[in-house]
Amino acid sequence: MRSTFDTKGDPGEAGLHVAIIMDGNGRWANARGLPRIAGHRAGADSVRRTVEAAPSLGISVLTLYAFSADNWRRPAREVSGLMKLFARYLVQERERCIANGVRLQAIGRRDRLPASVVKLLEETEQKTVGGRKLHLRLAIDYSSRRAILDAARSLKMVTEESLSRVIGPDVDLLIRTSGEQRLSDFLLWECAYAEMVFTRRMWPEFSIEDLSGAIDEFRRRDRRFGAITPMNEARTA
C-alpha cells in the first residue's frame, strides 16, 4: 500500500515511506554530562532537519517514533519534560509545516496524553491537512500491537487489504539510530517488507548526509518480495 503523496507535485509519482526509530537522545546527553532532557531538545533539532530535507530526498511519508507506550515507565520528570517539548514543537513548527506543505498527523493513543498536548495536536492536524509535499506522522504513546488490535476490532471483516488500509502505508525503509537492532513494537505490520538500516549514530547527531546515505543503501538493495529477479534467475539457470 503506497502513499498518495508525491515529492515534486507530480500526480501519481509515489515517494518513499521512511520510518525512523529516533534512539539515543539520553545517551548522547549523558556522554556530555548533560541532563537527558537536553538530549531530547537536541533530538528535536534533528527532527526539524530531517523533515526539511525529506521531500528533496524522495520521501513522501515520514513516520517518526517519538514516544512509545512503554516510555511511560520512564521517570515522571523526564516524561513531563517530553510532553512540554512536544507542545513546544507543535507551536513552533506549525507555521513552518503549513508554509512547506507538510501535513502532520499523530498516530497512537491520545487518552493518556495531557489535554493541552491533545488540543495542540488536533489543531495542528486540522491546519496542516492540506499539505501535499510530505506526510509527517508522529507516533506518540504508540504501540504497534495495540494499533493492530484496534484496527482489527474496528473492522467487520478483517482482510490483509482492509487491515492495511486502516493501519497505514507500508514502510519502504526503516532506520534506527544508536546501534540498537530491534523494532521495539514499532510499525510491525507496516514493516513486513521494509528494508532496514541500523546506524550507531545517536539521534541528535543524525545528519542529512546520514539520511541520504541510508536512502542510497536502500536503492542499492535487491527487493524481491519473495520472487526471483531476472538477474538472479539467470544465475540459477
Question: Helix or strand or coil: residue 197?
Answer: strand
For this structure, is 185 an active site residue? no
Instruction: Please state, in angstroms and rounded to a whole number, the distance separating the CA atoms of residues 24 and 141.
Output: 18
* 18: Cβ contacts below 8 Å, ≥ 6 apart: 54, 59, 61, 62, 63, 171, 172, 173, 174, 175, 215
Catalytic residue from among 6, 10, 23, 232: 23
Instruction: Please state, in angstroms and rounded to a whole number, the distance separating the CA atoms of residues 151 and 148.
Output: 5
Farthest CA pair distance, the chain:
63
C-alpha cell at 121: 495536536
C-alpha cell at 183: 523494532
Surface-to-core class of residue 184, CB atoms within 10 Å of its CB (0-12 exposed, 13-18 middle, 19+ buried)? middle
DSSP state of 41: H
Instruction: Please state, in angstroms and rounded to a whole number, the distance separating the CA atoms of residues 148 and 164.
Output: 9
Catalytic residue from among 6, 71, 100, 210: 71
Q: Is the Cβ–Cβ distance between 2 and 44 less than 8 Å?
A: no
Q: Is the Cβ–Cβ distance between 179 and 199 less than 8 Å?
A: yes
For this structure, is 23 an active site residue? yes
Q: Which residues are catalytic?
A: 23, 71
